[in-house]
Amino acid sequence: MIRKILMSAVLGFVALSSVAFAEEGVAAATTSTGGGYGAIAAAIAIGLAVFGGASAQGKAASAALEGIARNPAAGDKLFTPMIISLALIESLVLLAFVIAFLKITNT
């Protein structure tokens, strides 16, 4: 019983300390973005990148699985290029995330 009380107290302190740190971050973010247009632009950029990446990954996986379904013997030959293409698509999304993050920090 004491262990549960102690654990809930520790979790309560952790939750309250995160709120205090969030207030400091909000104050710094609102003064450095110049009205928030940089943050809005970064949010739109990352949203479009994620949407494009997700649809491209869906199409790539769909085409690869359709090819494997038509010719199961070609599964090994299609699997590696599919994984490589999914990794390259994901790298473009991560690049857009880095650019959006740099846009927020440099405004």
Choice among 19-23, 35-39, 58-62, 71-75 with the minimum mean pLDDT? 19-23
- Name the domain count of the chain: 2
Q: How many residues does the chain have?
A: 107
Are 46 and 13 found together in one domain?
no
pLDDT over threshold 80, residue 5: no
Distance CA 33, CA 14 (A): 28
Are 9 and 19 found together in one domain?
yes
CB of 61 closer than 8 Å to CB of 82: yes
Are 66 and 98 found together in one domain?
yes
pLDDT in tens, 62-71: 999 999 999 9
Are 40 and 87 found together in one domain?
yes
Are 25 and 45 found together in one domain?
no
Q: Which residues contact 73 (CB under 8 A, 6 or more apart)?
A: none
Are 88 and 75 found together in one domain?
yes
> Region 22-37: what's the mean pLDDT?
58
Average pLDDT, the chain: 79
Residue numbers of the domain that contains 53: 34-107
Position 60 scores a pLDDT of: 92
Indicate which CATH number applies to the domain containing 84.
1.20.20.10
Are 41 and 1 found together in one domain?
no
Structure tokens at 47: 């949203």
Are 45 and 88 found together in one domain?
yes
Instruction: Say what percent of the chain tops pLDDT 90.
Output: 27
